[in-house]
């Protein structure tokens, strides 16, 4: 069956488009129609959506979220989006992902990851 939600986490300040393109190609080849991909831009402490580097627009899929995991900005909204897609409550999602804090530890890694939820 596979993951229902895939988080494509991108450091908002990245300029490593080659790596992003490889992940993007992998996603495009392997994503199923029933799967949702949420692009998560991290390190957005004082970021406004209109400031997004135009080179990053092509990596946006079904939804986009701007978060700062270290400052816990935007993570609640992301969790709500995930719970809506999965048709589960936020508490249920947190229980399934325990003992990992769902967003903070995964996004804190500061690298580009595909995260299956």
Residue 104: which domain range?
A: 5-116
pTM (2 d.p.) = 0.75
The pair phi, psi for residue 8, each rounded to 5°, is: -105, 100
With a cut of 70, list the residues of the chain below it in pLDDT.
1, 89-117
The pair phi, psi for residue 68, each rounded to 5°, is: -130, 100
Tell me the pLDDT tens digit for each residue of 59-91.
999 999 999 888 888 888 888 888 888 887 666
As for how many domains the chain has, the answer is 1
Percentage of the chain beyond pLDDT 90 is 32
**Cα(53)–Cα(14) distance, integer angstroms:** 9
Residue 11 to residues 22, 68, 82, 94, Cα–Cα distance (Å): 15, 10, 20, 24
Residue 26 to residues 21, 39, 45, 91, Cα–Cα distance (Å): 8, 14, 29, 31
């Amino acid at each position: 069956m596979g993951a229902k939600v895939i988080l494509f986490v991108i450091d908002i300040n990245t300029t490593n488009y080659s790596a992003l393109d490889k992940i993007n190609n992998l996603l495009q080849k392997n994503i199923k129609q029933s799967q949702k991909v949420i692009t998560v831009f991290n390190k957005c402490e004082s970021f406004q959506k209109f400031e997004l580097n135009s080179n990053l627009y092509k990596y946006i899929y079904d939804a986009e979220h701007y978060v700062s995991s270290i400052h816990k900005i935007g993570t609640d909204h992301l969790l709500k989006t995930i719970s809506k897609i999965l048709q589960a409550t936020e508490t249920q999602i947190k229980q399934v992902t325990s003992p990992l804090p769902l967003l903070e530890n995964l996004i804190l890694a500061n690298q580009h990851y595909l995260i299956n939820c």
